[in-house]
Amino acid sequence: MNDMDKIEMGVHLCDVHLKNPVIAASGTVGFCDEYQGLIDFSKVGAVSLKGLTLQERAGNEGVRICETASGMLNSIGLQNPGIDAFLMQYLPKIQALDTVLIANIAGNCMGDYVEMARRLANVKAIKMLELNISCPNVKQGGVAFGVYPKDIGRIVRAVKKVCKQPLMVKLSPNVASICDNAKAAQDAGADCLSLVNTVHGLAVDLDKACVIVKGGLSGPAIKPIGLRQVYEVCKAVDIPVVGMGGIKNAKDALEYIACGATAVQIGTAIFSQPSVLQETVSGIQEYLRKKGLNNISQIKGVIK
Amino acid sequence: MAKDYLTKVIQNKSLAKEMVALRLQVEGEFPDLAMGQFVLIQVPGRPDIVLRRAFCIADYDKASKQISVVFRVIGEGTAVLARVQAGQELQVILPLGSGWDMTKYQTQMEAPIRHIWLVGGGIGVVPLCGIPKEYPQFDYTSLLGFRGKDDSVLAAYFDNSQIATDDGSIGHQGMVVDLLRPAYDKQKPDLILACGSVPFLRGLKNIQTQGWLQSTQNTPIPIYASFETKMACGVGACMGCVIKVDGQKKRVCKDAIFDLTKVEL
Ligand SMILES: Cc1cc2nc3c(=O)[nH]c(=O)nc-3n(C[C@H](O)[C@H](O)[C@H](O)COP(=O)(O)OP(=O)(O)OC[C@H]3O[C@@H](n4cnc5c(N)ncnc54)[C@H](O)[C@@H]3O)c2cc1C
Ligand SMILES: Cc1cc2nc3c(=O)[nH]c(=O)nc-3n(C[C@H](O)[C@H](O)[C@H](O)COP(=O)(O)O)c2cc1C
Ligand code: FES
């Protein structure tokens, strides 16, 4: 046994054991199969799969991505095959992966979320649900579910009634008070929280005088935003928090964990460096070893 | 299956003003490649550039484990890549995309493929240039469009080529689509393979809808086209690169190359 093996990297996210605290963020590795050969998912704590909707969704028209300084804007619009096609065609191909699979669900209305949680309730390969409440809610005039504490409470309570897996609620950073929203989710029964989703942003073409992409900003540019919100939410709630936003290496991940996160998710950094998930895991181990620590929990929340 | 390869720059050659050819040596086992496939290169030393840059494979050699890309400097990423030195290392994901597949196109045609047109605009000619080497059994006519004499250096990669330039500094002054009719009257192709910017491919599609591009069997000549859209993952995971094909959003990185009649431009 070498030094590395003695370091305990496992974390408990609610009842679910992850072999390490590094999770692939929803929407960035699809349903895993596209990244086979580039990412060894068995080395990753968990994967949050591409956001699912009840019906198939064609996603947004026009240009969907635009690189910006230290980040990128996306406006994919949740293009996905729908939950049934996912269960029939995609899940069978990945359920044997030696990692924890998290289904990320998004809806147009409360009924959609509840119905999806119901359809996933007995799916053994899905160990956790991540409720994406930061997408536009058509039935409520385009306001996202995740904006007001009252709406968050309603939707989390409704989903909790039917879902059998632990429920992770993914919070939007584009809100008045992230802590009020986090507490509303906790009070309604959320088992853990993940934050942040992308930050509202815009890229324009000056010469053509038009919008290039109006969408969500991700990548290193948003790390200070994510870090602050995670730091504050960790103080405000008792349930575990999964931190994300701009993580590109072990140092970034450790900063989130030191601010109180139990685990982290990495998204955009995968595009330029598919090995970033594994490298973050080994980088965290290396850091702990250097510091003479033997358990990831010893770093958690050390920044007060 | 695509992998992230460590490569070493063997040569960085300036072909013309702001046009660069990089030859890269791939470490480890050399993958099976096809012309028309592309690679994603990490912009070295620039963690603030969060996406890799996509380039078509211009040439490859299995024996020496080398690939070449040819690109135009248009922004920061390509400017950095234009300055890499021989010996420097680059992370490159390859092979990506599907590549030209004559066997597949043949199954959708009645008459055998004999004569192929390669129709490209600007830097878009790159994915076409290796086709004759890979499929030597066919005859080719290349109809190429460039801005001017400078970037027309790429025509040197083609044997039997006709050129149009915007400024008339070489070849026909005008658009590459102007070359189609005379070439057609001389010899009808069985198949057309195309690549270029969206406006370029839109122009080609307009000609196609005029209806006169008929084969010797009086059937429409199929046009297969390779597209460029902004990409993040390059492997089919992010859904960032889609175009509309047959009413559905298809991934340019994964589902390409497309039958031009079916693409909404
Ligand atoms: C499949 C594919 C194959 C390509 N093959 C070639 C090739 O063989 N030779 C060549 O010169 N160019 C090719 N391109 C275009 C090339 O990727 C862009 O020119 C390059 O990304 C520009 O980067 P930049 O930082 O210099 O430009 P910037 O304009 O600063 O880039 C800003 C952002 O836009 C993206 N972008 C800009 N232009 C394009 C474009 N035309 N297509 C896609 N993304 C773009 C960049 O990747 C970057 O994320 C290809 C593109 C694709 C998608
Ligand atoms: C292309 C792309 C697609 C995304 N799709 C989803 C999605 O389907 N569901 C979701 O909850 N978050 C989605 N996200 C947000 C990420 O999961 C993550 O919250 C965000 O990108 C911040 O992390 P990062 O800076 O590490 O990328 C997406 C992000 C990107 C860049
Ligand atoms: S670039 Fe991600 S799906 Fe094509």
Both structure tokens of A237: 């709630």
Q: Is the CB of B236 under 6 A from ligand 3?
A: yes
Q: Is the CA virtual torsion A54, A58, A63, A67 positive or negative?
A: positive
Which listed CATH number (1.10.1040.10, 2.120.10.80, 2.40.30.10, 3.30.930.10) goes with B3-96? 2.40.30.10
Distance (Å, whole) CA A102 – CA A251: 25
Q: Which residue of A has its CA nearest to B230?
A: A65
Ligand whose nearest atom lies closest to the CA of B253: 3
Question: Does the CB of B32 have a partner CB in chain A at under 8 Å?
Answer: no
Find chain B residues with C-beta within 8 A of A272's C-beta: 42, 49-52
* Partner A contacted by B230 (CB < 8 A): yes
Residues 6 or more apart whose CB falls under 8 angstroms from that of A156 comprise A131, A167, A169, A184, A185, A188, A189, A190
Choose among B18, B235, B208, B225: nearest CA to B128: B225
Q: Do A79 and B231 touch (CB under 8 A)?
A: no
Which one of A32, A66, A135, A259 is the catalytic residue?
A135
Per DSSP, the three-state class of B29 is coil
| Ligand closest to CA B51 | 1
- Core vs surface per residue A202-228: b (16+ CB within 10 A) or e: ebeeeeeeeebbebbbbbbbbbebbbe
* Residue having the nearest C-alpha atom to atom 3 of ligand 3: B236
CA A92 to chain centre: 22
State residue A1's pLDDT score: 47
H or E segment to which residue A194 belongs:
strand A192-195
Burial-class residue B235 by CB neighbours within 10 Å (0-12, 13-18, 19+): buried
Per-residue pLDDT of B92-147, as tens digits, reads 999 999 999 999 999 999 889 999 999 999 999 999 999 999 999 999 999 999 99
Write down the domain spans for chain B: 3-96, 102-264
Residue numbers in chain A where pLDDT is lower than 50? 1
CA distance B223 to B118: 10
Q: Give pLDDT, residue A6.
A: 85
For residue B234, which residues of chain A lie inside 8 Å, CB to CB? 271
Longest dimension (CA), chain B: 55
Q: Distance from the CA of A33 to the center of ligand 3, in angstroms? A: 13
The nearest CA of chain A is from the CA of B74 a distance in Å of 14
Q: In CATH, what is the architecture of B102-264?
A: 3-Layer(aba) Sandwich (3.40)
pLDDT for A153 equals 96
Distance from CA of A187 to the nearest CA of B (A): 33
Closest CA to A112 of A153, A145, A75: A145
Taking the C-alpha atoms of residue B201 and residue B260, their distance in angstroms, rounded to an integer, is 8
Q: How much of chain B, in percent, has pLDDT values that exceed 70?
A: 100
Produce one character per residue of A119-155: b if its CB has 16 or more CB atoms within 10 Å, e if not.
Answer: bbeebeebbbbbbbbbbebeeeeeebbbbbbebbbeb
pLDDT of B180 higher than 90? yes
Are A289 and A7 in contact by the 8 Å Cβ rule? The answer is yes
How far is it, in rounded angstroms, from Cα B41 to Cα A51?
28
* Cα–Cα dist A51/A170, whole Å: 11
Ligand 2, atom 10: nearest CA belongs to which residue?
A26
pTM score, whole prediction:
0.96
Q: Please report which helix (H) or strand (E) contains residue A185, including its range.
A: helix A178-187
Strands B66-72 and B59-61: antiparallel
CB A253 within 8 A of CB A280: yes
Answer yes or no: A192 catalytic: no
Residue range B166-182: mean pLDDT, rounded: 92
The answer, yes or no, to whether ipTM is higher than 0.90 is: yes
CA of A151 relative to ligand 2 center, distance in Å: 22
Report chain A residues touching chain B, CB-CB < 8 A. Answer: 27-30, 34-38, 50, 58-59, 63-67, 69-72, 74, 76, 79, 219-220, 248, 268-275
The H or E element spanning position B10 is strand B3-16
